A and B are shown apart, each in its own frame.
Chain A
Amino acid sequence: MAERCAVVGVGQTNHSSCRADVSIAGLVREAVDRALADAGITIQDVDAVVIGKAPDSLEGVAMPELWLADALAAHGKPVFRVHTAGSVGGSTAIVAAQHVMAGIHGTVLTIGFEKQSDGNAMWALSVPIPFGMPVHAGAGGYFSPIVRGYITRSGAPSHIGAMVAVKDRTNACKNPYAHLHEPDWTLEKALETPMLWDPIRFIETCPSSDGAMALVLMSEERAEKMSGPKAWVHATAMRSEPTAFAGREQVSPRAGEMCAEDLWRKGGITKPAEEIDVVEMYVPFAWFEPMWLENLGFAPRNEGWRWVEDGVTEMTGSLPVNPSGGVLSSNPIGASGMIRFGEACMQVMGTAGEHQIDGAKKAVGHAYGGGSQFFAMWLVSSLKP
């Protein structure tokens, strides 16, 4: 059977729209050095490296893990690259954990990064292939109709998205690494921001960031020898489905539901909303918080927005969501999923600082990508499984 695995070190960069002060390698090393310091080991102690990032065209380097082997002092070691769209940060951490769970390596370093400012994202992501009509609407144009579908189905009032956004931006002020530090948002002000992709307002969208997240994972035998706090990996899950097919449910994709069901089953969770202390959820557009609350089985169908309205997902609520400020406050695409996974670890390790949820014992990291079709989740705990 699979071996136990613990995260013993978490490190991330200071995320911002343009980290012009560092190279791609420098950005990656900033996160790596912080993770290694957090774990109390050196880069020589690492057995293998697992790297994830979103499309290579964002920086213009094909398979950059090859070139980054130098910056990671990985000569003579295994370096493995994962790419699963927006969920990549999550799936990369899972692949890294599996190297440990399978008993192949004792100490694995995993990294998710993106340096969007080094390339031209609008160009990199638009290739003139003739199957779609170029409506020039961007990612918001893709997801906004899905949000409209949710609003229509659930009867949610139109201010819910803004409430999520204000919460996340306020939480981000307690997170020194967050890209956006905007302490002065109120719901009134948020509702005054323009509708970019009606029903999505300006405040309800994520920024574009440079950033990286790194984690150090160890086998039980090695982790036991470390004196610092640990986040034990209780369960991991991934699911994928096609982008588009006749009759596809896009508001609450089946792959997301199955991913969560699998996670709860493997982690022995029967009442997620009661048993989970904090969730780091992939919410690039604010409305996805209530949508994922339902999709993951926390809230009943069409009730997710009421939880937002009732403050359940505030840091002081019974199920805090994104105390770090979430993707709405920092979005280095290839790192965003791993930031969710790493922040979940920080919560159960008790190292989240000002955005710590007191006494958090079980936390969930969640990531998704593509057209809401690739899902990755993990469940971590301060307690050994």
Chain B
Amino acid sequence: MRDVAIVATAQRPSQIGTQLTSVELILPVVAEAVKNAGIQRQDVGFWCHGSCDYMSGQPFSFVAAVDAIGAWPPIVESHVEGDGALALYEAWVKLQTGECDIAVVFANGKTTSGPIDRILTLQADPYFVTPLWPGFDAMAALQARACLDAGVVTEEQMAEVAVRSRRDAKSNAVAHLKGDYTVDELLSGPYTTAPLRAHDCSVPVDGANAVVLAADDVARRLAKRPAWIRGIDHRIDTQRLGARSLTTSDSTRIAAEKAGVGRDKVDVAEIYAPYTHQELLLRSAMGLDATTTAINPSGGALVANPAMAAGLARFVEAAEAVFAGRADRAVAHSTSGPCLQQNLVCVMEGD
């Protein structure tokens, strides 16, 4: 395996109801990431983009994104229908083949131009589930109920996740929801989709971000302290909520094992948990100890969830923690599908 690292990142403050097009969202973050890496567009050997047509409300919506990256002369480029974290995985695979040394990964998610809860429900089984229009939040609520009933989580623990996320977000310019709250305050609010309250659900926002990856000596040349990818893996579970345990996450557990999370102490974990109870489940599935690992010090996806860019945002935050020396060893996680169906885990280390 080649040594591959994140050497530069870029993201912009998230917005609700942005008037920018996806292309206008992407263009500045890609330009900034390229600039931060100290390279030119022409130095990039592979580009990979993550986005979702149904969120853009347009088939082939990603085609316009090549306009934002200056694809001339023609470039080597690919696109995943999904979170940018998966695009990063494809770029990592590409770098492992030795075909190129520098890759740029970018993602965009405009969650506020359409009914996101309904759109994500379209991921469900089209014959037996979607016709019932359960709603994405409601499926997560089913999972939360199962966790509460099993004693895996409590409503207080869930509120604590929200309190910590909003507090930590105060120092994060891209976060949308930030401030000091108390558990009692949050628990006094009404259920939105019982047993979930508003604070248990992430805030859908519009956003874009970009990451530059490089291999071996190129990475050493481009970054003072590259965030070396020491392990990365993704796994999927059955989608059927009745056919898997909703109180654990097998796919996360396997991906974390393959990525080597447990091999050493983790300083920072950036977890894509769109619901409070899911952070608790994911921590447990990855074997993370919140007393020794800072969980979502950026505030995580709860305070700003640009779906399809939110997983890549975790990579941005974890890599920046390594760049700045706040972490020697960091974990980035991304999820996709109803109730944490698909999960990707990555371990990064500083030199």
Contact = CB atoms under 8 A, between A and B. Distances in A.
B79 A83 contact: yes
Given A95-B78, A102-B96, A67 B236 contact: no
B65 to A, nearest CB: 10
Contact of A241 (B71, B119, B126, B235): B71
A23 to B, nearest CB: 7
Interface stretch (B50-58, B102-110, B185-193): B50-58
B66 A63 contact: no
Given A74-B236, A75-B236, A102-B97, A83 B62 contact: yes
Interface string B211-253: 0000000000000000000000111111110011000001100
Contacts of B138: none
Contacts of A241: 66, 71-75
A195 interface: no
Contacts of B338: 66
A81 B67 CA distance: 22
Contact of A238 (B66, B78, B240): B78
A254 B62 CA distance: 20
B77 A238 contact: yes
Interface residues of B, number: 61
Contacts of A70: 238-240, 243
A69 B239 contact: yes
A220 interface: no
Contacts of B251: 75-76
B75 A81 contact: no
A1 B215 CA distance: 13
Interface residues of A, number: 58
A262 B195 CA distance: 56
Interface in B98-132: 98-99, 119-120, 122-127, 130
Interface in A20-79: 23-24, 55-64, 66-67, 69-70, 74-79
Nearest to B67: A242
B341 interface: yes
A55 B235 contact: no
Interface stretch (B81-89, B270-278, B291-299): B81-89
Contact of B79 (A74, A79, A82, A373): A82
A137 interface: no
A226 interface: no
Given A81-B86, A240-B71, A373-B66, A23 B127 contact: yes
A2 B54 contact: no
Given A82-B79, A98-B94, A129-B58, A67 B126 contact: yes
A99 interface: yes
B99 A2 contact: yes
A269 interface: no
A124 B59 contact: yes
A69 B126 contact: no
Given A80-B80, A81-B82, A69 B98 contact: no
B156 to A, nearest CB: 32
Given A66-B239, A98-B97, A239 B120 contact: no
Contact of A370 (B63, B93, B119): B63
Contacts of B81: 56, 63, 81-83
A76 to B, nearest CB: 6
B254 A76 contact: yes
A47 to B, nearest CB: 11
Residue of A2, A66, A104, A239 with most chain B CB atoms under a 10 A cut-off: A66
Nearest to B59: A55
A186 interface: no
B79 A80 contact: no
A75 B238 contact: yes
A85 interface: yes
Given A56-B53, A80-B90, A61 B72 contact: no
B74 A85 contact: no
A69 B341 CA distance: 10
A91 interface: yes
A125 interface: yes
A63 B240 CA distance: 15
A99 B336 contact: no
19 contacts: A2-B98, A57-B53, A59-B126, A60-B122, A62-B119, A63-B337, A75-B251, A77-B235, A78-B234, A82-B79, A95-B90, A98-B93, A98-B94, A98-B96, A125-B59, A127-B58, A239-B74, A240-B76, A258-B73
Interface of A: 1-2, 23-24, 55-64, 66-67, 69-70, 74-85, 91, 95, 98-99, 101-104, 124-125, 127, 129, 238-243, 245, 253-255, 258-259, 370-371, 373-374
Interface of B: 1, 52-54, 57-60, 62-64, 66-67, 71-82, 86, 89-90, 93-94, 96-99, 119-120, 122-127, 130, 233-240, 243-244, 250-251, 254, 336-338, 341-342
The 8 A-B pairs at the shortest CB distance, nearest first, are namely: A102-B96, A55-B59, A255-B74, A62-B122, A83-B81, A240-B77, A241-B74, A66-B337
